Structure 1
Amino acid sequence: MSFQRFYETWFEQLHQLMNQLNRAPRQPTAEEENHELVQKVMSHYSEYYRVKSIVAKQDILSVFAAPWATTLERSLHWIAGWRPTTAFHLIYTEASIRFESQIFDILRGLRNGDLGDLSPAQFRRVSELQCETVREENAITDELSEWQDGASDFVGMRSHGDGGKMEVLVRVVEKADQLRLKTIEKLVELFTPRQAAEFLIAAAHLQFGVRALGATYDRRL
């Protein structure tokens, strides 16, 4: 199976998992159910990056070009995928929207435990994770820049092999993918099962929306 076919199947399964998360009850008594569904989603993401790593070792340029993605998706890519720090912007946006919609309940002392109800300790840890992720993003970006700076040397090697240049690019993409998965994992660990479910749903809806908009644009070309 080509990676494009794998991705299409994987993406459809992600839709199904999100439907399950959306239907799951949000009461405190349903925390175990939410936790199990969250773990299923995390396993699904882990499988995507496992297969992508295998394909990258076989054809890194195809993975980098991401022909299975829409033009819009590719325009937003950072090293063959989404930028990890996007997750933090999404959290702040979701938390702000939910907080504002519940402000009167909160003033009355009512709490519902969703993303609009993050504790000061959770916000502090999110901020710390964001700073850590920015540093790692920058380091990986610098590695890609070094690889690109050596492009002229790579062209000169074309008749004598690539001198290991492709292996370096594979490692850069793998580091980027590892950071993407690690970022989601650490955030999910930080949240309650309900908050983790809401975060994953919001992230998936953003992914679905960008892909749908990109597909609409591509059909017009």
Structure 2
Amino acid sequence: MADTSPRTDTSTDVDHDDKNQRHMFLVCSSIQALPVAVVPSDSSDRSKEKTGDQKTLSRLAQNREAARKSRLRKKAYVQQLESSRLKLTQLEQELQRARQQGIFISSSGDQTHSMSGNGALTFDIEYTRWLEDHNRQINELRSAVNSHASDNDLRAIVDGIMAHYDDIFKLKSAAAKADVFHLLSGMWKTPAERCFLWLGGFRSSELLKLLSRQLEPLTEQQLVGICNLQQSSQQAEDALSQGMEALQQSLAETLAGSLGPSGSSGNVANYMGQMAMAMGKLGTLENFIRQADNLRQQTLQQMHQILTTRQFARALLAVNDYFSRLRALSSLWLAWPKE
């Protein structure tokens, strides 16, 4: 009995262990048969977060760089506008000084500007000098008339003034070749003078109307001569005005012919052809200016022939006084307080 009892207990324990081992085997097999879920590790998450942060930082850096460049471009554009404004202001100031003094000095005061490349500015300066010389000659003529100088003395002064008028017509002819629009605009004249401007100057017929009342008494022959001169001047002015209107209409039609149905430019060949025709028509403007100045010059010469030397001297003084008053009126208007 003592021998068999321990063996029986051992057998029972072995069977129990076997059962446990088989159970554990089945459990392990079941676990191995289950699908395995892949769970990302913490290092992978950190790697992806790091990559995302780098892309965000890169985009932010690109945005900052683009904003910086945009600010630089805007700053450069504003500086360019300010520089252009300052240059324009300086140019206006220098032009004003040129008109007042007859010279054109740079704002730095160390060198004079070259006028060869700017026909309009060159003419303005030359006209200012011409006007100063003209005023000096007129003052000399006024003194001679008031002092009752001899006809020979008056004739010498009058001839000098007529030669001086020839100079301004030559200057205007050269200016028309350089910039005909500047002469037509009358920007070289004062505002009140521009109000009566006709093809770059005064109307001879209107000037004769003003002078006829200042030159009395006139002989019958002189009255007839002045009346005929006024009529011929009026007819010539009307013809030039009609020609100018025809040119403007023709030019407008030429430019309109290069437009498409929608108002946009047509094909390139047609557009360039129309613009070439328009440029050719603009070239005739110079001829209109020259004819108008020739009419003014001939009017002065014929007045010189019709009137006596003393009468013509009085006529020159009256013409000068008229334009002087227009310039004075312009100065008063510009100085008048605007509210």
TM score, norm. by length of structure 1: 0.84
**Contact in 2 for aligned 1:154/1:165 (Cα 8 Å):** no
Task: Name 1:112's counterpart in structure 2.
Answer: none
Separation in 2, partners of 1:192, 1:26: 17
Task: Name 1:31's counterpart in structure 2.
Answer: 151
| Deviation for aligned residue 1:89 | 1.1
Counterparts in 2 of 1:195-210, with a 5 A limit?
A: 195-210=311-326
Task: Name 1:131's counterpart in structure 2.
Answer: 231
Counterparts in 2 of 1:79-118, with a 5 A limit?
A: 79-94=199-214, 115-118=215-218
Aligned-partner residue type, residue 41 of structure 1: I
Separation in 1, partners of 2:200, 2:210: 20
Aligned-partner residue type, residue 70 of structure 1: T
Larger Rg: 2
Q: How many residues align?
A: 201
Counterparts in 2 of 1:168-207, with a 5 A limit?
A: 168-207=284-323
Task: Name 2:169's counterpart in structure 1.
Answer: 49
Separation in 2, partners of 1:29, 1:64: 40
Separation in 2, partners of 1:201, 1:25: 10
Structure-2 change in CA distance of 1:216 and 1:126 (3 Å): same
Separation in 2, partners of 1:27, 1:124: 30
**Which 4+ stretches in 1 moved above 2 angstroms?**
25-29, 153-163, 218-221
Unaligned runs of 5+ in 1: 95-114
Task: Name 2:178's counterpart in structure 1.
Answer: 58
- Give the aligned CA root-mean-square deviation in angstroms: 2.0
User: Which whole-Å deviations, capped at 9, do the CAs of 1:8-60 have from their partners, x for residues lacking one?
Assistant: 11111111011010011478871111111111111111100111111101111
Separation in 1, partners of 2:145, 2:179: 43
Task: Name 1:17's counterpart in structure 2.
Answer: 137
Q: 1:152 aligns with which of 252, 257, 260?
A: 252
**Contact in 2 for aligned 1:70/1:218 (Cα 8 Å):** no
Aligned-partner residue type, residue 205 of structure 1: D
Separation in 2, partners of 1:210, 1:29: 29
Structure-2 change in CA distance of 1:190 and 1:26 (3 Å): farther
Separation in 2, partners of 1:144, 1:86: 19
| Deviation for aligned residue 1:136 | 0.7
More divergent stretch after superposition (32-41 vs 158-167): 158-167
3-state SS of 2:124 partner: helix
More divergent stretch after superposition (25-34 vs 162-171): 25-34
**Contact in 1 for aligned 2:205/2:231 (Cα 8 Å):** no
TM score, norm. by length of structure 2: 0.56
User: Which whole-Å deviations, capped at 9, do the CAs of 1:39-95 have from their partners, x for residues lacking one?
Assistant: 11111111001111111011111111121112221111111111111221122221x
Task: Name 1:106's counterpart in structure 2.
Answer: none
Structure-2 change in CA distance of 1:193 and 1:26 (3 Å): farther
**Contact in 1 for aligned 2:154/2:313 (Cα 8 Å):** yes
1:166 paired to 2:166: no
Aligned-partner residue type, residue 308 of structure 2: T
| Deviation for aligned residue 1:189 | 1.3
Separation in 2, partners of 1:4, 1:154: 32
Task: Name 1:5's counterpart in structure 2.
Answer: 125
User: Which whole-Å deviations, capped at 9, do the CAs of 1:138-161 have from their partners, x for residues lacking one?
Assistant: 111111111111232453578443
**Contact in 2 for aligned 1:21/1:34 (Cα 8 Å):** yes
More divergent stretch after superposition (151-160 vs 179-188): 151-160
Structure-2 change in CA distance of 1:181 and 1:142 (3 Å): same
User: Which whole-Å deviations, capped at 9, do the CAs of 1:131-188 have from their partners, x for residues lacking one?
Assistant: 1111111111111111111232453578443341222111111111111111111001
